[in-house]
Structure 1
Amino acid sequence: MKRGPAYCEPVYVWKLTKEVQPKGLWDHPCQLSEEMVRCMKDIFISLADSTISSKLSGLESHYSPLSPHGHLSSSYMSSWVQSPQIDIESEVLAADDIHDPYRVHGKLSWADIGSYGLATEVSWMSVGKKQLEYAAGELRRFRILVEQAAQVNPIHLSHNEKLGFWINLYNTLIMHAYLAYGVPRSDLKLFSLMQKAAYTVGGHSFSAAAIEYIILKMKPPVHRPQIALLLALHKLKVSEEQRKFAIDTFEPIVAFALSCGLYSSPAVRIYTAMNVREELQESQRDFIRASVGVSSKGRLLVPKLLHCFGNGCVDDEKFPAWISRFLLSHQASFVEKCMSKRRQSLFSSRCCGILPFDSRFRYLFLPEKFSP
Structure 2
Amino acid sequence: MVEDRTVMRGRVTVYSVPGCAHCIQAKATLRALGVPVCEVDVNKHRELRARLKELTGLSAVPQIFFNNLFVGNNEDLQNLVRQETDPERLERLVLSVREDPVPLDAPPVPEEHSLDSDGELDGAACELSEALRNLILQLYSDHLSEDGKRVDYKAMSRSPFFERYCDLAVHLQRVDLLSLSREEKLAFFINIYNALVIHGNLRLGFPKNIWQRYRFFNYVSYFIGGEVYTLQDIENGVLRGNRKGVAQLLKPFSRNDPRLQVALPDVEPLIHFALNCGAKGCPPIKTYTSQDIDSQLRAAAEAFLENDDSCVIDSAGREVKLSQIFKWYKADFGGSDEKLLNWVFEHMGASQKKRTLQALLSEGKVKVSYLPYDWSINSTD
Band of TM-score, shorter chain: 0.5 to 0.7
Alpha-carbon separation, structure 2, partners of 1:30 and 1:185: 35
Pairing 1:323–2:344 present: yes
Which residue number in structure 2 is paired with residue 108 of structure 1? none
Alpha-carbon separation, structure 2, partners of 1:314 and 1:143: 39
Alpha-carbon separation, structure 1, partners of 2:202 and 2:290: 27
Alpha-carbon separation, structure 2, partners of 1:318 and 1:206: 32
Query: Structure 1 residues 215, 323: CA separation in 2 closer, same or farther (over 3 Å shift)?
Result: closer
- For 2:212, the aligned partner's letter is K
Query: Structure 1 residues 173, 339: CA separation in 2 closer, same or farther (over 3 Å shift)?
Result: same
In the TM superposition, 1:1-372 aligns within 5 A as 1=1, 18=8, 20-23=35-38, 25-40=121-136, 42-43=138-139, 46=142, 119-122=147-150, 125-126=153-154, 132-133=157-158, 135=159, 137-216=160-239, 217=241, 219-221=243-245, 228-229=246-247, 231-232=248-249, 240-290=257-307, 291-295=310-314, 297=316, 299-307=319-327, 309=329, 312-313=333-334, 315-317=336-338, 320=341, 322-325=343-346, 326-337=348-359, 351-362=367-378
Alpha-carbon separation, structure 1, partners of 2:179 and 2:131: 20
Alpha-carbon separation, structure 1, partners of 2:336 and 2:230: 35
Q: For the Cα contact (< 8 Å) 2:244–2:250, is it kept in 1?
A: no
Give SS of 1:199's match.
strand
Pick which of 182-191 and 118-127 moved more: 118-127
How far off is 1:197 after superposition?
Answer: 1.8
- For 1:292, the aligned partner's letter is C
How far off is 1:249 after superposition?
Answer: 3.1
Alpha-carbon separation, structure 2, partners of 1:166 and 1:329: 31
Q: For the Cα contact (< 8 Å) 1:36–1:172, is it kept in 2?
A: no
Query: Structure 1 residues 205, 310: CA separation in 2 closer, same or farther (over 3 Å shift)?
Result: closer
Between the two proteins, what is the percent identity of the paired residues? Answer: 22
- Deviation digits for residues 334-358 of structure 1 (CA, Å, limit 9, x no counterpart): 3345677xx7xxxx97744420332
Which residue number in structure 2 is paired with residue 53 of structure 1? none
Pick which of 319-328 and 137-146 moved more: 319-328
Alpha-carbon separation, structure 1, partners of 2:173 and 2:151: 30
- Deviation digits for residues 12-37 of structure 1 (CA, Å, limit 9, x no counterpart): x9766757334565444235335435
In angstroms, what is the RMSD of aligned CA positions? Answer: 3.6
Q: For the Cα contact (< 8 Å) 1:47–1:126, is it kept in 2?
A: no
Q: For the Cα contact (< 8 Å) 2:242–2:253, is it kept in 1?
A: no
Alpha-carbon separation, structure 1, partners of 2:7 and 2:335: 54
Alpha-carbon separation, structure 2, partners of 1:335 and 1:206: 39
- For 1:302, the aligned partner's letter is L
Alpha-carbon separation, structure 2, partners of 1:155 and 1:234: 20
- Deviation digits for residues 100-142 of structure 1 (CA, Å, limit 9, x no counterpart): xxxxxxxxxxxxxxxxxx6233266437xxx744x2x212321
Q: For the Cα contact (< 8 Å) 1:300–1:351, is it kept in 2?
A: yes
Query: Structure 1 residues 178, 282: CA separation in 2 closer, same or farther (over 3 Å shift)?
Result: same
Could you say which structure has the greater relative contact order, defined with CA pairs below 8 angstroms and 6 or more residues apart?
1
Alpha-carbon separation, structure 2, partners of 1:20 and 1:322: 44
- For 1:39, the aligned partner's letter is L
Alpha-carbon separation, structure 1, partners of 2:277 and 2:312: 23
Q: For the Cα contact (< 8 Å) 2:148–2:285, is it kept in 1?
A: no
Alpha-carbon separation, structure 2, partners of 1:295 and 1:359: 24
Pick which of 327-336 and 199-208 moved more: 327-336
Which sections of structure 2, spanning at least 5 residues, go unmatched?
9-33, 39-114, 116-120
Give SS of 1:120's match.
coil
How far off is 1:182 after superposition?
Answer: 0.4
- Deviation digits for residues 251-301 of structure 1 (CA, Å, limit 9, x no counterpart): 233222222111222222222222122222222222212221235855432
Query: Structure 1 residues 14, 181: CA separation in 2 closer, same or farther (over 3 Å shift)?
Result: farther
Which sections of structure 1, spanning at least 5 residues, go unmatched?
3-12, 49-78, 80-117, 222-227, 365-372
Give SS of 1:274's match.
helix
TM-score normalised by the chain length of structure 2: 0.58
